[in-house]
Structure 1
Amino acid sequence: MATSFSRLPPLPPLRDFIHMYRLRAKKVLSQNYLMDMNLTRKIVRSAGVQPGDWVCEVGPGPGGITRAILEASCDRLDVVEIDKRFIPPLEHLAEAAEDRLHIHHGDVLKTNIGEFWSKEVGNRCREWNDNPPPMHIIGNLPFNIASPLIIKLLKDMSYRSNVWRFGRVPLTLTFQMEVAKRICSPIDDDARSRLSIMAQYLTEPKLLFTIPGTCFVPPPEVNVGVVRFLPRAQPLINVPFEVVEKLCRQVFHYRQKYIIKGLKTLYPKEIADEMAHQLLKACRVNPKASSVQLGVEEFADLASGYEKQCQEMPGLFPYDYIKPKRTVEILAKTANALPPTNPFLVEKMPGEGIRLTEA
């Protein structure tokens, strides 16, 4: 069903709004304003916002996408903005929005969006395996927080916390094109990275369209990709998020090398070769494969095998090869000696991809 746009009371054009409140973009905050209302409406349409939905917008800035969301006749819109300069123009919009717009001044990296809605959510909640609830997260993200924010949100999603306690709430976010391509990158693609695995095992990410950098003020030197994330009913990896992230971070740090190189950094030097080869053999993954050649299924096997090793050797999971003096023996005595647990894990998916050939 196509999103219909309704008229707000008369408002100054967005450019006049920015001039009126003297809202010069701050380079230190990676701020770039999207001025074209046709594009802001396209983002909202692509997100699938329908009349009556609830939306949280991350980093609204001067309110271009905010206007488009309100025009889509949402029942409630919460915005999270760290820059206090934008609060007065957002309050101007709130007056025109008839109590639909709720403004939160703060850092979205430290914000639990679900708390905005928890007291009034009512029958909007859905079971995890049902269709997504009538809720959305949307944002034109500053480049400097895009990667850490999506990792934070994916972690919350994996534990069904934050807004995901209400069901499979989708996200529609902007990224510089390089990051958007990494998120959606397939096997054997040069852009494949840690973000590819983390996003693809928990969601079905889709690059919807590209916005030329020239459409922003000030114009960034790169184009921008709009990506929609639909949470999977059954995540593809049956291991806690922190284990998957650590494995992917180490393996993709050496993305141009054989996978064995990155795996060895998971272990103390004196046992690294033995443990890494043991893991690869148990998972039937070729040690001469590179990280970009492996699918989510192979990473599921590796993460499961690594988690088992960590459970059998307390202190291995928090071990950091950059800080070798904090040995496994020392870490085994700490509160975080073992990997975390996740009550929402699903059945392991069958694997396919590069395997050791059997004699």
Structure 2
Amino acid sequence: MGAQAKLGAFRLPPLPTIGEIIKLFGLRAQKQLSQNFLLDLRLTDKIVRKTGNLKNAHVYEVGPGPGGITRSILNAEVANLLVVEKDTRFIPGLQMLSDAAPGKLRIVHGDVLTFKLEKAFPEHLQRKWEDDPPSVYIIGNLPFSVSTPLIIKWLENISKRDGPFIYGRTQMTLTFQKEVAERLTANTGSKQRSRLSIMAQYLCKVQHSFTIPGRAFVPKPEVDVGVVHFTPLVQPLINQPFKLVEKVVQSTFQFRRKYCHHGIGILFPQADRSKNTEKMLMLADVDPTLRPAQLSILHFKNLCDVYRKMCDEDPNLFTYNFRDELRQNKSKKRVKDTDGDND
């Protein structure tokens, strides 16, 4: 049995190091794409360990680059690994890994922001939302420039249970600038508490797994990097459409240093702003002199529930944008000033 188990265990054959692959294919991290390579396989192994038990799992890796994390995933005995890479320069190095792991690695040249994952894995992997998470995982050392828009996109997918979450509560392990990682996991009242904290935590259990020092990357970024693990919740803590929650949270944090009533006020047209802000805060039982970072997810749940009722009563309210009103008022003022000059 022991010999058979050993035969069954998969390890990649000896390959050039990631550093050698970078030299071999003349790869340079592109600053405008905010690329940073992680060369230390002990750290890439640690990222993969923090993801969970990947034996026989199906994994989607975003932005594999020269393939450091890719190697660690393949060595974790996965059933199947799909990598999506936008930069064609990395494809030959990844192809070398694919040749070394026959039938395990699929390489797609594409953009993670637009790639559709719905049909990437077999249907039999799908689980009911209430069940344990499926054997499908997302892992990525993301370029800093796409990490925030991508996590917002995936959080919206979680709220709709589509995209990568058509399989169930797919878990994600992703890298972010340390500051962004701290925002994603920040507690009520902390300095890092932000829009990202609420948007991530109302939909997921979010854990800051560990921090990787900037010096571990090539080229060395000016910041350290946080590894964050996301497990979608069975029940979201706010039961409203994603776009509505996003609008309430974004508006509230618009003036993060001021009392929360300032940000909440911009949800309403100026004519009735003060009356509606007061009504919303009172019905949601939120103290208007709390600052945005002091609001708990329960506060935001109440605010979103009340705002939804107000939008149902006034169908034009949800499409109202305070910036549009500001622009209109400015252009009216310009027209008025010009008319005054002509008199």
Compute the TM-score of the two structures, normalised by the length of structure 1: 0.87
What residue is the counterpart of 1:136 in the other structure?
137
Distance 2:106 2:257 in 1: 47
CA spacing shift, 1:59–1:49, aligned 2, 3 Å = farther
Kindly provide the amino acid, as one letter, of the partner of residue 164 in structure 1. F
**Post-superposition offset of 1:214:** 0.2
Kindly provide the amino acid, as one letter, of the partner of residue 121 in structure 1. E
Distance 1:324 1:303 in 2: 22
What residue is the counterpart of 2:338 in the other structure?
none
What residue is the counterpart of 1:227 in the other structure?
228
Tell me, yes or no, if structure 1 residue 243 matches structure 2 residue 240: no
Distance 2:310 2:92 in 1: 54
Deviations, residues 252-297 of structure 1 (Å, cap 9, x unaligned): 1111111110011111111111111110011111111111111101
Tell me, yes or no, if structure 1 residue 68 matches structure 2 residue 72: yes
Tell me, yes or no, if structure 1 residue 38 matches structure 2 residue 42: yes
What residue is the counterpart of 1:318 in the other structure?
319
Distance 1:285 1:158 in 2: 25
Kindly provide the amino acid, as one letter, of the partner of residue 19 in structure 1. K
What residue is the counterpart of 1:93 in the other structure?
97
Kindly provide the amino acid, as one letter, of the partner of residue 42 in structure 1. K
Distance 1:207 1:6 in 2: 30
Identical columns (%): 47
Distance 1:312 1:115 in 2: 40
Distance 1:5 1:24 in 2: 34
For residues 1-359 of structure 1, what are the structure 2 equivalents within 5 Å?
A: 6-117=10-121, 120-122=122-124, 124-324=125-325
Distance 2:199 2:163 in 1: 18
Q: Matched residue of 1:324: which SS?
A: helix
Distance 1:303 1:264 in 2: 14
Kindly provide the amino acid, as one letter, of the partner of residue 312 in structure 1. E
| Larger deviation, residues 159-168 vs 30-39 | 159-168
CA spacing shift, 1:191–1:75, aligned 2, 3 Å = same
Q: Matched residue of 2:113: which SS?
A: helix
How many residues align? The count is: 321
**Post-superposition offset of 1:326:** 9.5
Q: Structure 1: where are the runs of 5+ without partners?
A: 328-359
Kindly provide the amino acid, as one letter, of the partner of residue 60 in structure 1. P
Query: Is the radius of gyration larger for structure 1 or structure 2?
Result: 2
Distance 1:325 1:287 in 2: 23
Higher helix residue share: 2
Compute the TM-score of the two structures, normalised by the length of structure 2: 0.91
Q: Answer whether contact 1:49 1:74 (CA < 8 A) is retained.
A: no
Deviations, residues 214-252 of structure 1 (Å, cap 9, x unaligned): 000000011100000011011100111100111111111
| Larger deviation, residues 79-88 vs 22-31 | 79-88
Q: Matched residue of 2:119: which SS?
A: helix
**Post-superposition offset of 1:325:** 8.1
Distance 2:253 2:326 in 1: 24
Deviations, residues 25-62 of structure 1 (Å, cap 9, x unaligned): 00000000000000000000000142100000010000
Distance 1:98 1:146 in 2: 30
Q: Answer whether contact 1:115 1:162 (CA < 8 A) is retained.
A: no
**Post-superposition offset of 1:72:** 0.5
Kindly provide the amino acid, as one letter, of the partner of residue 263 in structure 1. I
Kindly provide the amino acid, as one letter, of the partner of residue 48 in structure 1. G
Q: Matched residue of 1:285: which SS?
A: coil
Distance 2:214 2:173 in 1: 18
Q: Matched residue of 2:78: which SS?
A: coil
Distance 1:307 1:253 in 2: 20
CA RMSD after TM alignment: 1.4
Distance 1:109 1:272 in 2: 37
Distance 1:268 1:278 in 2: 14
Q: Structure 2: where are the runs of 5+ without partners?
A: 1-7, 329-343
